[in-house]
Amino acid sequence: VSLSAVKVCEIFASIQGEGLRVGEPSVFLRLSGCNLKCVMCDTRYSWNEGKELSYDEILERIASFGLKSVVITGGEPLLQRKSLLGLVKLLNENGFTLSIETNGTIADEPAVEVCKLMELVTISPKITSFSGKVLHLNTVCKLLEELKNRVCLKWPILSREDFEVVAELVEDMDVGGDVPVVVQPAFVPGESFDDYLERVRLLWKAAPEVFRKRRLSFRFIPQLHRLVFFDIERGV
């Protein structure tokens, strides 16, 4: 990928279904490639699919939707941090409000530079039950340190045990009340709508106890777009 082009999986308009900005109409710029390959990933097609697009092509397609909010996601968008920087500057110059969603595994200087041009950086670390891999928190903590006031943590969980694991991690990280923390019952690829809803209900009921026990501040936000479009994999 050249420095004035980015490998893009898809660009579409939808409503933000996750995290702090849930409900906000936004354009989604989904970049190709991911360095984690989680067992529970619901956007596997983004790992390899994609086409190199020039900054101008991307700008034109984003502008065509007539929305101000742009969410840069993936895959893992910071894999392309060097070529992404110029695009982010261009989108900012054109008046778009930017946010990015990252798995928190990349925290070098170019990654931080891209993140500092965002209004909101959502770091979504993946615990072992979700990713199938051990979670290393050092890069997440570095990003939190660098990106004060424009960052939130979003944790996908599958079970009550996951909920407890996340609560313990957040407690250990000692982010205090400064960083908003979202726990997100994740959709398991292939599961039925009823099964997802049932898990969300169980986790919802467990939430007050987990919150109280740890005296931590969380927001509990299911994946709204999965509830609405549970049978549609892409473009939502």
Q: Which residues bind to ligand SF4, rule: CB under 6 A?
A: 34, 36-38, 41, 43, 46, 74-76, 103, 126
Where do we find the tokens 């695009």? 87
Per the omega criterion (within 30 degrees of 0), is the bond before 75 cis? yes
CB of 87 to ligand SF4, least distance (A): 19
The answer to whether the CB of 6 falls within 8 A of the CB of 87 is yes
108 vs 209, beta carbon nearer ligand SF4: 108
Rounded-to-integer distance, Cα 222 and Cα 217, Å: 17
69 vs 105, beta carbon nearer ligand SF4: 105
75 vs 167, beta carbon nearer ligand SF4: 75
CB of 204 to ligand SF4, least distance (A): 22
CB of 166 to ligand SF4, least distance (A): 15
Distance of CA 24 to the CA centre of its chain: 15
CB of 43 to ligand SF4, least distance (A): 5
37 vs 51, beta carbon nearer ligand SF4: 37
CB of 213 to ligand SF4, least distance (A): 28
39 vs 207, beta carbon nearer ligand SF4: 39
Taking each helix axis as running N to C, give the angle between helix 138-146 and helix 160-173, from 0 to 180 degrees, rounded to the nearest 10.
60
Q: Which long-range contacts (CB under 8 A, 24 or more apart) does 87-93 make?
A: 87/6, 87/55, 87/58, 87/59, 88/114, 88/117, 88/118, 89/117, 90/55, 90/59, 91/59, 91/62, 92/117
CB of 48 to ligand SF4, least distance (A): 12
* Element of type H or E holding 70: strand 69-73
CB of 64 to ligand SF4, least distance (A): 25
The order of strands in the sheet holding 151-157 is: 51-54, 5-15, 25-31, 69-73, 97-102, 120-123, 151-157, 181-185, 219-220
95 vs 190, beta carbon nearer ligand SF4: 190
47 vs 230, beta carbon nearer ligand SF4: 47
Rounded-to-integer distance, Cα 55 and Cα 97, Å: 17
The answer to whether the CB of 88 falls within 8 A of the CB of 98 is yes
